[in-house]
Structure 1
Amino acid sequence: MSRTVYVNGSYLPEEEATVSVFDRGFLFADGVYEVTSVLDGQLIDFDGHAKRLERSLGELDMDSPVSMDELRDIHRELVRRNDLREGGVYLQITRGAADRDFLFPEGAEPTIVLFTQAMNLTNSPKAEKGLKVISIPDIRWGRRDIKTVQLLAPSLGKMEAKKAGCDDAWMIEDGFVTEGTSNNAYIVKGGTIITRDLSNAILHGITRAAVLRFAREAQMKVEERSFTIDEAKDADEAFITSATTFVTPVVEIDGQQIGEGVPGTVAKRLREIYLEESRKLAD
């Protein structure tokens, strides 16, 4: 049985879903996206994702074809139709279809696509074992705070990590870690959680915001500032956060063991707290 997907107002079997070859998402990566995780058949932090989506659309002068309330209903309906218990809902909105021109088209109708993906989020082997990452130059454009579909640079980074026998890559710019290829990056030193402060240089992670809030509520010390890759290698712990990895420890960077070389206590506790609190707030 195929998945049901949503395309421009219709729920369709995935094999029947199509978009125009002239869609600007295909021709120019002129689109934005979000991924909302699902636990126990419930959406996790949908409001945060909706708010970031609105910001991304606004930064690109792009309209949404549906309201955020309608979007929530579409998410829920897809989860129901696909009987999704654990995984994610992918959403993409592009500027729509028009003859190929670098200038934004007038009157084009935005394209909206959603689909579900079943994933093992809570019992992730990588969360138990920890990730090995490499460092690479950050070659992305300057507006990483906008969650666009232009993901070739992160994809290249993940492939470079795979070739090195590792799980992911942390990107470096001007000597400092920006973020992972699809996640925010953190280190722990002397009990303090350190992560880069918000700017155009990184994505304003929804899971990042929740994790930092939960950490402060648990009386953990948090410092938002840039850190170098050498500082990361000398850290007691390291970890990443994202909508589908939650809090996942990092145990090796560029072949150098971090701390004891196993998931640290801070990362493990934060993952537990995140799962507990997210389930309480799920809708």
Structure 2
Amino acid sequence: MTRIVHLNGDWLPEAEAKVSVFDRGFLMGDGVYEVTSVLGGKLIDFEGHCRRLDRSLKELGMPNPHTDDEWLALHHEIVRLNDIGDGSIYLQVTRGNGGDRDFMYPNPPVPQTVVMFTQSKPGLAQNPQATTGLKVISLPEMRWHRRDIKTVQLLYPSMCKMAAKAAGADDAWFVEDGAVTEGTSNNAWIVKDGKIITRQLSNDLLHGITRASVIRFAKEAQMEIIERPFTIEEAQAADEAFITSAGVFVMPVVEIDGKKLGDGKPGRVATRLRELYLDESLKAAM
């Protein structure tokens, strides 16, 4: 089956979808993106992704090319066209083709570039790593200081994922001024004495949509959430650790910089939060 993608209002076979070499997303990283998971053909946390997309665009001085209802219709159509049961939908909005390479924004503004494509991932919610856990390493935080904007500038996170793989680990956590900011593509959490700890929101980390839902579900389940920074040493001494993201939902971490947490197996709290997230998110899926 040929994958059908959305490009600037058209539905095209992926081989026919072309973007100009002068697009500012390509030349300047001048764009934002979102990834929405699909389970059973339904969209997970869709409204949260719409809100963050709108915020990211506003922070970069770009209009939102679609209303929420229009985005929803596009998401449903791309799921239908590609017969996606479990997987994800990637969308990207750039400032468009300015006609030539220039650091200045096009003036007057030009049409934005809007791209959407799907990735089929059968059994997404049954990821076997949820039963074994992840190993992470720590690396210095070297990204720009507006990590709250979900831009397409992903070179350093990509480099760090490769560094983690070379070190025999699954992912990396960034450290700045002695404290963990987040993972390469996820929010970082630890659990100590029953307390669930994650860094508070700021420009230093992405405002995770899965993160927000996990906090809400945890509080509804009478779990204690503390939002504050923590160090790698504190994480290594924790009872549990885990990450959250749209791609892996809630995923236990069992080793940090070569040190096993607890018995080296996924902990009770992370396992329960994963169950809660999947159960509650599926109920509200669109």
Output the TM-score relative to the length of structure 2.
0.98
Q: Which structure 1 segments of 5+ residues have no match?
A: none
The structural deviation recorded for 1:71 is: 1.0
Find the counterpart in structure 2 of residue 61 from structure 1: 61
Q: Which structure 2 segments of 5+ residues have no match?
A: none
Residues 51-97 of structure 1 show CA distances to partners (whole Å, capped at 9, x for unaligned) of: 00000000000122222211110010000111100011000000000
Find the counterpart in structure 1 of residue 115 from structure 2: 113
Number of paired residues?
283
Q: Is the 8 Å Cα contact of residues 48 and 206 (structure 1) preserved in structure 2?
A: yes
Find the counterpart in structure 2 of residue 93 from structure 1: 93
CA RMSD between the two structures? 0.6
- Distance of 1:197 and 1:259 partners within structure 2: 25
Alignment of 1:245-256 (within 5 A): 245-256=248-259
Q: Is the 8 Å Cα contact of residues 64 and 110 (structure 1) preserved in structure 2?
A: no
Find the counterpart in structure 1 of residue 78 from structure 2: 78
Find the counterpart in structure 2 of residue 8 from structure 1: 8
Alignment of 1:135-214 (within 5 A): 135-214=138-217
Find the counterpart in structure 1 of residue 103 from structure 2: 102
Find the counterpart in structure 2 of residue 20 from structure 1: 20
Residues 238-266 of structure 1 show CA distances to partners (whole Å, capped at 9, x for unaligned) of: 00000010000000000000111000000
Q: Is the 8 Å Cα contact of residues 65 and 111 (structure 1) preserved in structure 2?
A: no
Find the counterpart in structure 1 of residue 238 from structure 2: 235
Find the counterpart in structure 1 of residue 129 from structure 2: 126
- Distance of 1:175 and 1:118 partners within structure 2: 39
Secondary structure at 1:112 match in 2: strand
Q: Give structure 1 regions of 4+ aligned residues with deviation exceeding 4 angstroms.
A: none
Aligned amino acid, residue 104 of structure 1:
Y
Q: Is the 8 Å Cα contact of residues 126 and 248 (structure 1) preserved in structure 2?
A: yes
Find the counterpart in structure 1 of residue 52 from structure 2: 52
Residues 89-123 of structure 1 show CA distances to partners (whole Å, capped at 9, x for unaligned) of: 00000000011111111221100000000124211
Aligned amino acid, residue 196 of structure 1:
R
Find the counterpart in structure 1 of residue 272 from structure 2: 269
Aligned amino acid, residue 114 of structure 2:
I
The structural deviation recorded for 1:127 is: 1.1
What percentage of aligned pairs have identical amino acids? Answer: 65
Residues 7-66 of structure 1 show CA distances to partners (whole Å, capped at 9, x for unaligned) of: 000011111111111000000000000000001000011110000000000000012222
Aligned amino acid, residue 177 of structure 2:
D
- Distance of 2:78 and 2:58 partners within structure 1: 26
Q: 58-67 vs 256-265, which deviates more?
A: 58-67
Secondary structure at 2:202 match in 1: coil
Q: Is the 8 Å Cα contact of residues 185 and 195 (structure 1) preserved in structure 2?
A: yes
Residues 202-221 of structure 1 show CA distances to partners (whole Å, capped at 9, x for unaligned) of: 00000000001000000001
- Distance of 2:18 and 2:87 partners within structure 1: 23
